Structure 1
Amino acid sequence: MALSSMTGFARSHGASGPYTFEWELKSVNAKGFDLRLRLPAGWDELEAYAKKRAGDVLSRGTIYANLNVKRSGAAATVRINEDVLAAIVKVAGQLAGTIDAVAPSIDGLLGIKGVLEVVEPESDEAEDKAARDAAGAAFDEALANLVAMRRREGVALGQILLQRMDEIERLAKKAEAAPGRRPEAIRARLAEQVALLLETADRFDADRLNQEALLMAAKADIREELDRIASHVAQAREMIGKGGPVGRRLDFLAQEFNREVNTCCSKSNDIELTNTGLEMKSVVEQFREQVQNLE
Structure 2
Amino acid sequence: MTRSMTAFTRQEMQQPWGTLIWELRSVNHRYLEPHFRLPESLRDIEGPLREALRKAVSRGKVEATLRFVPEKSSGALQVDQECLQDVLAATRELRVAGAEMQALNPLELLSWPGVLVESALDMREVKQQAQALFREGLKDLLEGREREGVELNQLIVQRLDSIESIVADVKLMMPKILQAQRDNLQQKLSELTAELDAGRLEQEIALLAQKADVDEEIDRLQTHVQEVRRVLTQKGPIGRRLDFLMQELNREANTLSSKSIVASTTRSAVELKVLIEQMREQIQNIE
For Structure 1 versus Structure 2, the TM-score category normalised by the shorter chain is: 0.7 to 0.9
CA displacement 1:21-43 (0-9 Å, x = unmatched)? 10000000100101101111121
**Structure 2 residue corresponding to 1:247, chosen from 231, 239, 242:** 239
Written as runs of structure 1 = structure 2, the 5 A alignment for 1:187-226 is 187-192=182-187, 194-195=189-190, 198=192, 202=194, 207-226=199-218
Are the equivalent residues in 2 in contact too, given 1:5–1:150 (CA < 8 A)? yes
Alignment of 1:63-212 (within 5 A): 63-74=62-73, 124=120, 127-178=122-173, 182-192=177-187, 194-195=189-190, 198=192, 202=194, 207-212=199-204
Shift of 1:210: 3.2
Q: Report the 3-state secondary structure (helix = DSSP H, G, I; strand = E; otherwise coil) of the residue aligned with 1:24.
A: strand
Task: Extract unaligned runs of 5+ from structure 2.
Answer: 75-116
**Structure 1 counterpart SS, 2:65:** strand
Length-normalised TM-score, structure 2:
0.79
Structure 1 letter corresponding to 2:205: A
Of residues 39-48 and 140-149 in structure 1, the stretch that sits farther from structure 2 once superposed is 39-48
Q: Between the two proteins, what is the percent identity of the paired residues? A: 38
Q: Secondary structure at the match of 2:40?
A: coil
1:20 corresponds in structure 2 to 19
Amino acid across the alignment from 1:251: D
After alignment, is 207-216 or 58-67 more displaced? 207-216
Kindly state the Cα deviation for residue 207 of structure 1 after the two structures are TM-superposed.
3.2
Equivalent pair of 1:9/1:146 in contact (CA under 8 Å): yes
Q: Give the letter aligned to residue 249 of structure 1.
A: R
3-state SS in 2 of match to 1:42: helix
Measured after TM superposition, the shift of residue 191 of structure 1 is: 2.4
Aligned mates of 1:210, 1:136 — CA distance in 2 = 78
CA contact (8 A) 2:178 2:212 kept: no
1:40 aligned residue: 39
8 Å Cα contact 1:36-1:64 kept in structure 2: yes
CA deviation digits over 1:11-64, x for unaligned, max 9? 111244523110000000100101101111121112111111111111010001
CA contact (8 A) 1:158 1:240 kept: yes
Aligned to 2:266: 274
TM, length-normalised to structure 1: 0.77
Q: Using the alignment, how far apart are the partners of 2:119 and 2:171 within structure 1?
A: 76
- Cα root mean square deviation, aligned: 2.2
Q: 1:122 to 1:28 in 2, by over 3 A?
A: farther
The alpha carbon displacement at 1:266 in A equals 0.7
Q: Which runs of 5+ in 1 are unaligned?
A: 76-120
